[in-house]
Amino acid sequence: MKAFIVEKYRKGGALRFGDRPEPALGDEDVLVDIHAAGLNPLDSKIRDGSFKLLLPYRPPFILGHDMAGRVARVGAKVRRFKVGDEVYARPRDGRIGTFAERIAVHEDDLALKPTNLTMEEAASVPLVGLTAWQALVERAGLRKGQKVLIHAGSGGVGTFAIQLAKHLGATVATTTSTANIDLVRSLGADIVIDYKKQDFETVLTGYDVVLNSLDGDTLQKSLNVLKPGGTLISISGPPDPDFARRAGLNLLLRQLMRLLSFGIRRKAKTRGMRYSFLFMRADGVQLSQITALIEAGIIRPVVDRVFPFEATNDALAYIENGRSKGKVVVRLK
């Protein structure tokens, strides 16, 4: 089958377009013909080698974390899906590879595609949808009447998280550039901070939750908008000891995670706040709950551009410029 392959770790390196063996199908696996694949900053970071310690993929391997397609075959123990079903997923770590014509996905990572979305729209959802869900619902327990700041509101995670937070009944503030103010307001943001003209930490106060996806300086400043008892969740690091424990990392890596996050954890604790690093995981049950929200019209995906599959390297370069609104997708069929 045709696929885009990481031949070796290299910052900014092009993926090789070539042939790879057909995926092996386990008893609990579902073989999916991929119609569309979503791109994420995580793809670039893995290609660059930034995650080698946490996700030690051995080149050559196929990149890609989001997909939508149609079931071609099911394993002997699969009960929830059948041939012909339209599905979508963020395959679990260790089994990525959506920049390809087919992929074998564990049944537990898969969900039926929302009936009101195209394949391209559906492929844009899993990673960012699960990230927003696990941050706001699972980790923060966000509820009606609370206040949340979502950084980078026009990005993939941001566009989804704003809509989810509004559905949960929260007051939503977000940061974005001047060009994207109308977009984030249309998604439900109550307070919009134009980071080119305003400093969010001087405008906002008394927040229950902050979802950070930006740099370390933004992370530090975010503590200033939280109230005592508030939670700072970061998907851009630094990793913390809880993450290291859940990921089953060895003692050396656990100590490294402790050191990397020591400063922000100490500052949060002295202010009566909590710091938490989130690295999302695959979860078909949660994805099915997201499907229900999409089919009910509560959340809509935001797709910036759709590239042909052959232009996957161009699509990666496009998201790396940091100007895309929502998600970028490649179309296979």
Domain boundaries, given as residue ranges, for the chain: 2-124+301-331, 127-277
127-277 matches 2-124+301-331 in CATH topology: no
pLDDT given at position 151: 98
pLDDT for 3 equals: 98
Longest dimension (CA), the chain: 58
Give the 3-state secondary structure of residue 178.
helix
What confidence score (pLDDT) does residue 141 get? 98
Q: Helices 284-295 and 126-133 meet at what angle, rounded to 10?
A: 100
On whether the 2-124+301-331 domain is CATH 3.40.50.2300, my answer is: no
Q: What is the pLDDT of residues 117-165, one digit of tens each?
A: 999 999 999 999 999 999 999 999 999 999 999 999 999 999 999 999 9
- pLDDT for residue 323: 79
Q: How far apart are alpha carbons 191 and 173 in whole angstroms?
A: 4
- pLDDT at 54 (0 to 100): 87
DSSP readout, 256-276?
Answer: HHHHHHHHHHHHHHHTT-EEE
For residue 128, give the 3-state DSSP assignment. Answer: helix
* Amino acid at the residue 46: I
Q: Which one, of 330, 247, 315, lies nearest residue 47 by Cα?
A: 315
Rounded CA-CA distance 10/13 in Å is 5
Sort strands 207-212 and 147-150 into parallel, antiparallel or unpaired: parallel
**Predicted pLDDT at 201:** 96
Rounded (10°) CA dihedral 3, 305, 109, 160: 160
pLDDT value of residue 322:
80
Question: What pLDDT is attached to residue 126?
Answer: 98
Q: Which pair of tokens denotes residue 151?
A: 């950084």
Q: At what angle do helices 312-320 and 41-48 cross, to 10 degrees?
A: 100
Q: How many CB atoms lie within 10 A of CB 179?
A: 12
**pLDDT tens digits for range 268-282:** 999 999 999 999 999
127-277: CATH class: alpha beta
Q: What is the pLDDT of residue 157?
A: 98
Tell me whether strands 16-19 and 67-74 are parallel, antiparallel or unpaired. Answer: unpaired
**What stretches in the chain show pLDDT beneath 70?**
none
The pTM of the whole model exceeds 0.85: yes
The backbone torsions φ and ψ at residue 103, rounded to the nearest 5 degrees and listed phi first, read -150, 145
How far apart, in Å, are the Cα atoms of 118 and each of 43, 90, 301, 333?
23, 17, 10, 12
